[in-house]
Amino acid sequence: MPAKRYDGYRSYQYLEPGRDYRAFPLAKELDRVPSTPVEVTDEQEARVDRLFEEKLMVSLHDHCFVAPEDLSQFMEFRRWGRDFTGYEGLSVSGLDAVFDNLMDGTAMITSRGGWKWDDVVYDLGMRLSDIAHQDFVRIATRTEHIRQAKAEGRVAMILSLEGAAMIENELDRLDILYGFGVRAIGIAYSEGNALGAGLKEPRDGGLTVFGRRAVERMNKLGLAIDVSHSGDRTALDTIEASSKPIFITHAGARALWDSRRLKPDEVIQACAAKGGVIGIEAAPHTTITRSQPRHTIESFMEHFEYCVDLVGIDHVAFGPDVLFGDHVGLHKALSEALSIGASHGTAEHPKVEWVDGLESPAEAFRNIARWLVKHGYSDDDIGKAMGGNVMRVLDEVWV
């Protein structure tokens, strides 16, 4: 796998812990748990290395921050407003670009409810300040930035937000977020907002009149649109209203497991018919199936293959939605803020401490590539699913 130009930088190392900010012990970025690599032959591993060298590897959805070791301190950790980027983990991930969705649902500096404008702007600015002090990760606002990052051995980061609640009824706030470098935004994060319904709402009235105006503005600006956490009707309305393809950045197929966090065939097909792409999700206890109720890379890839059969390889990608730290523990600590109970299925299934093979951004894409090589996918199809499809949409959507 091509080496990345990582020089050992750690987040906020230009500041003095204990004087400039409160320090919290952080989780390990590498080998936190004994997650199992996908087993391949030496010949297959060599092919994986070649694919990482030749193809663009783009994660459609992740959170590249490092969680604190003690998750009982998480809310106090977040109140300091400093997300620590997992630069070391990214340096071995093989990724050329990642849609980093920050942690704005938990940016609760001024409010316990989250998603407030001041908190989101604070979160963006703090993260950008840290990134400005290093030269391994670069912010990508155009597709050529992604291609340049690969050529230079860097990682391109696409600033993304999972919901648009913070714009309230102010369309121009979309322009401001664009000016700050945001290039992808969700309609709603589980709870409804001025644009439309989130997936936890008992009644989905679809995209609002304001939501339609917001979609039009997003198209004009060149903001990629995400409906992963939107209700089904709102998602369908968004796809119809948008003049550009949209993303379902991190989800799976509800046909395989009855959960509102996953998408019905109708939504996946409508997204593909408009030229869009669905990224397959790997956050704990999401992409499980009736035949494989224990969450592993095998159940995750069952969702991938189902979506490929449903809409074709040109419309499927990967948005693992993983992070550096105890993801299961974080879900427990933030079950209300992240709408875990409302969005996951209610059927009983085995609980896991981590998703084997997909534990963090450091390992996810490498193991996905191994799985695809092991199961006989062609170089072209692997290239499409692991980055090419996302780039095709961005070439059309971004301006």
- Rounded Cα distance, 65 and 72, in Å: 17
Q: What pLDDT does 338 receive?
A: 54
Q: What pLDDT does 110 receive?
A: 85
- Rounded Cα distance, 167 and 241, in Å: 19
- Collapsed DSSP state (helix, strand, coil) of residue 317: strand
Q: What pLDDT does 332 receive?
A: 86
- Rounded Cα distance, 147 and 88, in Å: 21
Q: Which residues of the chain have pLDDT under 70?
A: 335-346
Structure token digits, residue 112 = 């316990």
Pairing of strands 247-251, 137-139: unpaired
Rg (CA), the chain: 19
Domains by residue range for the chain, with CATH = 42-397 (3.20.20.140)
pTM of the model: 0.96
Q: What pLDDT does 389 receive?
A: 98
> Which residues, including other chains, have CB under 8 Å from residue 152's CB and lie 6 or more apart?
5
Q: What pLDDT does 339 receive?
A: 52
Q: What pLDDT does 70 receive?
A: 95
**Does residue 148 contact residue 363 with C-beta atoms inside 8 Å?**
no
Pairing of strands 182-186, 224-226: parallel
- Rounded Cα distance, 196 and 221, in Å: 20
Alpha-helix residue ranges (DSSP H) falling in the chain: 42-54, 74-79, 87-91, 117-131, 143-152, 172-179, 209-221, 232-241, 265-273, 297-311, 327-333, 340-343, 364-374, 379-383, 389-397
**Does residue 123 contact residue 83 with C-beta atoms inside 8 Å?**
yes
- Rounded Cα distance, 238 and 170, in Å: 18
**Does residue 396 contact residue 223 with C-beta atoms inside 8 Å?**
no
Q: Taking Cα atoms as reference points, which of 28, 29, 12 lies closest to residue 20?
A: 12
